[in-house]
Structure formats: C-alpha cells, structure tokens
Structure 1
Amino acid sequence: MKKVFTQTLLLAALLASTHNVLAESITMNIMTTQPAPAGLQQLIDRHFAIWNSTDVAEREKAFAAVYSSDFFVADYDGLNEGTDRVNAAISKVQSQHPGFIFTPAPVEWNHGIARVTWGYGPKDNPYLVKGEDVFTISEGRLSSARVFISR
C-alpha cells in the first residue's frame, strides 16, 4: 500500500510539474511576441542602398536618415564606428570587389534584433559570397551592424 501511495504521489508531482512547464512556455510565448517596428524593411533597404552606392558623398548624405550618431559595424576586419570610418569601410569593400553588389533577403525580426541574409557578388553571380547582418535599432535608426560571412 505504501509503495502504491508513493507512486501515486510521484505521478501527481510529475504531472503537476509538466503542467507548470507547459503553462510557463505558453505564457512566455505570449508575453515576448513583439512586432517589427514600422518601416523596418525600408530602413534595411536604405542601408543596403548605401552599401551598394559607389558615390562617397551620396552615401554620407544618406547616413543621418539611416544610422544613429553612434552607429558601428563589427566585421572580421574589426570595428568601424562613426560616419567617416563606416564610409571608409564601404569604400574598402568596394575597392576590393569592383562591380559587386549586395542582394539582401527580407529582414527578419526577433525581440529587438533584426537579421538579414544576403548575397554579394557581380550581377551575373550575386550570391558568390553569402552572409548575414545582425542589426540593433535605436529611435528608428540602425545603431549597430554585426556582419557574418558564410562563404
């Protein structure tokens, strides 16, 4: 009798904890769902237009509408902070790969972080290089970009 009672208590405890885990999971999913900010795709499109532009002055004019004042890009070459350094990094990438352009996929949003996969290459092979950028957003502008290359 004691063994049956112990097994019954154990089974009840297991079922109760399973219910709590399921309830927490459901509650967590409901509470953490967050829609993407309005205009996010357009912001990302403008970012890639800047990186595809070969005109240094035009890029610089577009920066204020797309990037926060403390915007930085972190990639395998290092950390580029501010308009001048980011603009120089863009020029460097373009000089190393003349005629290449970025071809981004639609932006994905997950709890305050934006992610975009992309191809980079000439028009006849736009996915020669593949990668992704992970962005943070602040006050409607991009505040950081972390670049990952998948090759």
Structure 2
Amino acid sequence: MKKVFTQSLLLAVLLAGSHNVLAENTTMNITTAQLAPEGLQQLIDRHFAIWNNTDAVEREKAFAAVYSADFFVADYAGLNTGADRVNAAISKIQAQHPGFIFTPAPVEWNHGIARVTWGYGPKDNPTLVRGEDVFTVSAGRLTSARVFLNK
C-alpha cells in the first residue's frame, strides 16, 4: 500500500511538473509585441497642446477631436470628468503656475495603454516638475488620463 501511494505521489509530481513546463513553453511562444495605433503620437501631442494652451475657449474647441465624451483625468487633487471639469482643472493649474508648459517625451504603448513621461516648468527650466500620464485609448480618442508626479 505504501509503495502504491509513493508511486501515485511521484506520478502526480511528474505530471504536475510536465504541465508547468508545457505551460511555460506555451507562454513563451506567444508574441508580446504590439504596435501602437496609427496616429497615437499625434493624439498625445494634441492633448499636450490643449494643456499648454492658455485660452480656455480654444481648448474646449479642441476637446472633441482628442477626448471621448466621458474622458476623465485622475490626479492627486481628484477626479475631473467631462470637458467642462477638465477645462476648469487646466485653468486652475495654469493659474497656479503662470508661464509653465508641459514638455512630453514620446508616447509608449502597451496593449491598450499609453504612457508619457513629461516635464513641467517655465521655458528656462522645463523639467522643474517631472511626471507621467497613463492613458486609455478607444476609437481614436483618449478616454482617461491618470497623472503621477515624480517627487
């Protein structure tokens, strides 16, 4: 009886081990590279142009081409949803930091999520503040932005 139990246990371990090897090999054969959607960099560039624009009326006119109707920005100050609240948040940030502009790095893309690191500051010190935005994208529009500050 003891011998049968030991053999069964050994067989279970061997089978479990071969399953793990099989799963590992299968996973390794999956292609993980994914190209960014065409026009993503231009979409991100237009996003930062909106955030650098000091004219609230002009900014709002550009929203429909860049953001979905339910676009939101989540940052440390809270959650702003929709054109009116996002536009107000931009005005508030610009009022707190007159003359500052965003200088983004090129967009990075990973399976439906876009990431951009950026600097924010006056023209003579454009990286005074550093941060990162993580975007979701759908149907050629930004649907959300989550803002992280590098302290």
Give TM-score, length-normalised by structure 1: 0.86
Q: How far is 1:11 from its partner?
A: 9.8
The CA deviation string for residues 37-57 of structure 1, in whole angstroms up to 9 with x for no partner, is 110000000000000000111
Give the residue type in structure 1 aligned to 2:25: A
Taking only the aligned residue pairs, the percentage that are identical comes to 71
Q: What residue is the counterpart of 1:85 in the other structure?
A: 85
3-state SS, counterpart of residue 46 of structure 1? helix
Q: What residue is the counterpart of 1:23 in the other structure?
A: 25
Distance in 2, matches of 1:117 and 1:140, equals 21
Q: What residue is the counterpart of 1:74 in the other structure?
A: 74
Q: How far is 1:15 from its partner?
A: 6.9
Distance in 2, matches of 1:128 and 1:21, equals 47
Q: What residue is the counterpart of 2:94 in the other structure?
A: 94
Give the residue type in structure 2 aligned to 1:68: S
Distance in 1, matches of 2:11 and 2:60, equals 69
Distance in 2, matches of 1:60 and 1:135, equals 19
User: What's the Cα RMSD here?
Assistant: 2.2
Judge which range, 12-21 or 63-72, deviates more: 12-21
Structure 2 gap ranges (5+):
none
Distance in 1, matches of 2:13 and 2:48, equals 57
Post-superposition, which runs of at least 4 consecutive aligned residues in structure 1 deviate over 3 A? 8-19
Give the residue type in structure 1 aligned to 2:22: N
Distance in 1, matches of 2:128 and 2:88, equals 23
Q: What residue is the counterpart of 2:106 in the other structure?
A: 106
Give the residue type in structure 2 aligned to 1:98: P
Q: How far is 1:138 from its partner?
A: 1.4
Distance in 2, matches of 1:85 and 1:121, equals 23
Q: How far is 1:121 from its partner?
A: 0.5
3-state SS, counterpart of residue 43 of structure 1? helix
Matched, 1:140 2:132: no
Give TM-score, length-normalised by structure 2: 0.86
Give the residue type in structure 2 aligned to 1:59: R
